[in-house]
Structure 1
């Protein structure tokens, strides 16, 4: 009895010790990132004081510079270089050399890198959101939700579960290979290329970077020409965190430019992650500051949105509500579009067939479950859906019939905050997945490995009847062996096993006779 009491006391002491260790926060160094230049409000330098008018159409996609400006005010922010194809390939090779060293690091080191980033993000939320707001026109609250919370959730998931999903995974070896051990290993691919959109510049940079580095890769990220100013600052955060753990400084590169830059990255990287839209100009989420409604990140997009609405009205639709965005400067008026609710729409209208990416809510009526599912699936897009109903099982049933990559039942976009889940769509909304275990493993060379379970005592031996030159009864042996392994009933398998043993016995007898 005394033994069991002693064992119980030891177990209790161990549990208390583990709990106390859990209460002690890990030692995470702080990093300093120079933000003096990005904190300029646009009035401190003469070159930043003028109103910027971006070139129209294809003219913007040329030259050696990417011009940056605030969508909400049209104030000039500066420029970044548009890299040539040769310059992109040079960056990729630098990352490739650094990745070979990084691939040898432990998960413990990689987790420390994540903790350093997390510590900085939490401490500098306002700075990160303000920079995103100035570059895209979103509100501070939108930036907090879409930039900060999503990224912190991603880091938390990787810290908690990332290593588990990258460790070798053992699989069943099947009946014919019972003496073998089968597993799947996940090795770094090398250099990941990421071409990301402008709408959440902080998260769209960090999301692929976190997965790539935690799985042992390097990464080159081509940021959008519509959000290059903020992206270059966010790159400094990554560089500082890498330096804090002594990682190779060239492990991550952020590149800027236009189509040529992205094409060169696609042809140079070992895998490419693309976040964007198929040939559609996009509009930014709401603006920072005092307005609830935001600026368009891309010039001329208000004309596209107005065209979609006019097309719908010409075909019988009706605007039932339209908002406003308060006082704005005359130079930035084309950068805004009022929130619009429109009814009596149908699928003959461009609004219901094209990705508006703007503050327009079209509403359609339906009379049955079959009709609403048909309407929802009548689209070339299939990223995600949200189904609302007072009956949760009913909503779940409808959601299961909609052809898309993710579904939220009685909620909207909640799936993305669950970073354990994969993210991606079907049809024109893309292929492949990032996020979750699926996205993490997509950054890996997935290698199947088989080895002897009880080596060297039991190894694979080719049965004599099928050794070359094969015996006359070789097919009879093979036929019986298949049924012995996979027959539907135990009696069929036992009967076939007897036949297998019979053939082996006959073969041994024949070989013995030949030796005599």
Structure 2
């Protein structure tokens, strides 16, 4: 009777669900559905019982001046002051002053970080995961405020901040929490015939104090991202932030420090430094800094590398890009959705994105159709923090952008939208550049060679649908960061382009997803070297120590020096023949050569 009542209850639940669902589910499918739901519930329960419960904490919001003031000439440099003048790029609103650090202040920050790291290095991976889980919970609980602060300091829209600050930071936190320990666990390495009595291991140890010099385009993510990797690896970290986003940096640093304090750890483990460029080399050549991650331009990267070389500090350089977005004939049936991707990839953060779309390369058969889908969309984009495209960080590159567009026009390109700075009627002191579309761009034009890093969409027509013609355009600039290729999965041209494009990362039939799944991030050529994110990123801020030890030492099996090669050498010819025999036994190809080597060993022993 109990079974019948239970079965009747399930039937009532199924009937109720069927009324709510928009599709009809056949009766035979219900057992599989209930099984899947049970598995999901069990997984949720398991995760809740096996993971460390995060601690919720609070951080005071940064204070704004009591009286709103719009600067007459918004600039980070204020007349008569050495402090960094902080303001909102979207409106010109004054946010406050930040005093730059002196070399002595930098020394103190590094010393405090070093002292905290000495204790932090003894923590377990579980303790570090717990801190990151707490940090993840804070970010999830305070998404709106983090976005609002990032937008105020950088000029971007709330949607751009949600995607570029929150989504990628929570992804990085989740990945490190789930997979970080596996990436940094000691790994066994193979041996060989001659050394078969040896056991080989590679361990990943903290470096100590590492540094990061980060750009302004993602003030929250670029600051917190290096902190996540560094502290999980057992390091302390000093981050030199851009003067352009100095106002928000201390608050974002306090968010990470709050997670450390919530678990009883020293907040001095993470340090943030604001300083003018002439002082930054005190960090990049500091004898107590063990590794430097730099995010920025080629010109500054050369100075960082030269400074770091003085102290022999290894660097990871993540520089700009001129990313190609390639659309092949076989993608003809999906041009509408591809156009949407192009718009988001080009105008996200007003184009101030190192892996933003810089060049759309389209094959001839679909060029006009795709261009037609984009023109009116670009012209309709609205400027403003509450609109489609936000402000740029400053107006100091507006003349350069206008020059690139003008040069392209003189050399035969068509400017179909924008191309110049924009005087916002509501925010005349804001830094806005009109969303721009330049068609018929050729590889020899400056706009196809130089990184725009602004809201400029350039369209280039490939001579044909061949991989050779497409790659000739895609690989022309001295950059090689990200790339995207669209076409049918079975298209041999697509596969050839994926293999041939000169880039550190390729998204196939998508845009920039390599960063959303924590693959190694970095470029080649003028886009830098080294990788952050994923296993490679975590290991790059570790000392990789190789350990070779005896497998059977307890049996007395250890390396010994055979008589023929002991000092003093009695006979060079016999010693050489003996050593040759050792090489042939160990590395000879085929049994005959190994046997010959064994004879040499025995004959000369």
Alpha-carbon offset, residue 165 of structure 1? 1.2
SS at match of 1:74: coil
Q: Superposed, which structure 2 residues align to 1:409-420 within 5 Å? A: 409-419=508-518
- Per mean C-alpha deviation after superposition, the further-off stretch among 470-479 and 139-148 is 470-479
**Aligned counterparts of 1:488 and 1:383: Cα–Cα separation in 2:** 42
Q: Counterpart of 1:5?
A: none
Residue in structure 2 matching 1:153, options 171, 176, 186: 171
Alpha-carbon offset, residue 347 of structure 1? 2.9
Q: Superposed, which structure 2 residues align to 1:173-184 within 5 Å? A: 173-184=191-202
SS at match of 2:298: coil
Q: Counterpart of 2:279?
A: 261
Q: Is the 8 A contact 1:68 1:77 kept in 2?
A: yes
**Aligned counterparts of 2:442 and 2:474: Cα–Cα separation in 1:** 12
Q: Counterpart of 2:152?
A: 134
Matching of residue 294 in structure 1 with residue 390 in structure 2: yes
Name the CA shift for 1:176/1:383 in 2 (closer, same or farther; >3 Å).
same
The count of aligned residue pairs is 479
Matching of residue 239 in structure 1 with residue 236 in structure 2: no
Deviations 1:442-474 (A, max 9, x none): 101111111101113211111121112234322
Q: Superposed, which structure 2 residues align to 1:346-361 within 5 Å? A: 346-361=442-457
| TM-score for both structures, normalised by structure 1 | 0.87
SS at match of 1:406: coil
Matching of residue 493 in structure 1 with residue 594 in structure 2: yes
Q: Is the 8 A contact 2:224 2:253 kept in 1?
A: no
Name the CA shift for 1:52/1:68 in 2 (closer, same or farther; >3 Å).
farther
Residue in structure 2 matching 1:196, options 191, 197, 214: 214
Alpha-carbon offset, residue 123 of structure 1? 0.5
Alpha-carbon offset, residue 270 of structure 1? 1.5
Name the CA shift for 1:456/1:278 in 2 (closer, same or farther; >3 Å).
same
Q: Superposed, which structure 2 residues align to 1:296-311 within 5 Å? A: 296-311=392-407
Matching of residue 482 in structure 1 with residue 502 in structure 2: no
Alpha-carbon offset, residue 152 of structure 1? 0.7
**Aligned counterparts of 2:145 and 2:224: Cα–Cα separation in 1:** 16
Q: Counterpart of 1:221?
A: 239
Q: Is the 8 A contact 2:424 2:432 kept in 1?
A: no
Q: Is the 8 A contact 2:155 2:385 kept in 1?
A: no
Q: Is the 8 A contact 2:160 2:348 kept in 1?
A: no
Alpha-carbon offset, residue 211 of structure 1? 0.5
Q: Is the 8 A contact 1:107 1:163 kept in 2?
A: yes
Q: Superposed, which structure 2 residues align to 1:428-443 within 5 Å? A: 428-443=526-541
Q: Counterpart of 1:22?
A: 47
Q: Superposed, which structure 2 residues align to 1:459-474 within 5 Å? A: 459-472=558-571, 473-474=574-575
Q: Counterpart of 2:415?
A: 319
Alpha-carbon offset, residue 300 of structure 1? 2.7
Q: Which structure 2 segments of 5+ residues have no match?
A: 1-40, 301-318, 321-346, 351-382
| TM-score for both structures, normalised by structure 2 | 0.75
Q: Counterpart of 2:19?
A: none
**Aligned counterparts of 1:431 and 1:338: Cα–Cα separation in 2:** 33
Q: Superposed, which structure 2 residues align to 1:390-429 within 5 Å? A: 390-393=488-491, 394-419=493-518, 421-429=519-527
Q: Is the 8 A contact 2:467 2:494 kept in 1?
A: no
Q: Is the 8 A contact 2:298 2:526 kept in 1?
A: yes
Q: Counterpart of 2:362?
A: none
**Aligned counterparts of 1:265 and 1:461: Cα–Cα separation in 2:** 47
Alpha-carbon offset, residue 216 of structure 1? 0.6
SS at match of 2:417: strand
Q: Counterpart of 2:121?
A: 103
Alpha-carbon offset, residue 112 of structure 1? 0.7
Residue in structure 2 matching 1:377, options 469, 475, 485: 475
**Aligned counterparts of 1:271 and 1:302: Cα–Cα separation in 2:** 35
**Aligned counterparts of 1:149 and 1:398: Cα–Cα separation in 2:** 29
Q: Is the 8 A contact 1:225 1:256 kept in 2?
A: yes
**Aligned counterparts of 2:468 and 2:285: Cα–Cα separation in 1:** 44
Name the CA shift for 1:55/1:371 in 2 (closer, same or farther; >3 Å).
same
Q: Is the 8 A contact 1:291 1:326 kept in 2?
A: no
**Aligned counterparts of 1:145 and 1:428: Cα–Cα separation in 2:** 26
**Aligned counterparts of 2:80 and 2:540: Cα–Cα separation in 1:** 34
**Aligned counterparts of 1:349 and 1:328: Cα–Cα separation in 2:** 33
Alpha-carbon offset, residue 326 of structure 1? 9.9
Matching of residue 82 in structure 1 with residue 108 in structure 2: no
Alpha-carbon offset, residue 23 of structure 1? 3.9
**Aligned counterparts of 1:483 and 1:61: Cα–Cα separation in 2:** 76
Alpha-carbon offset, residue 116 of structure 1? 0.6
**Aligned counterparts of 1:466 and 1:310: Cα–Cα separation in 2:** 74
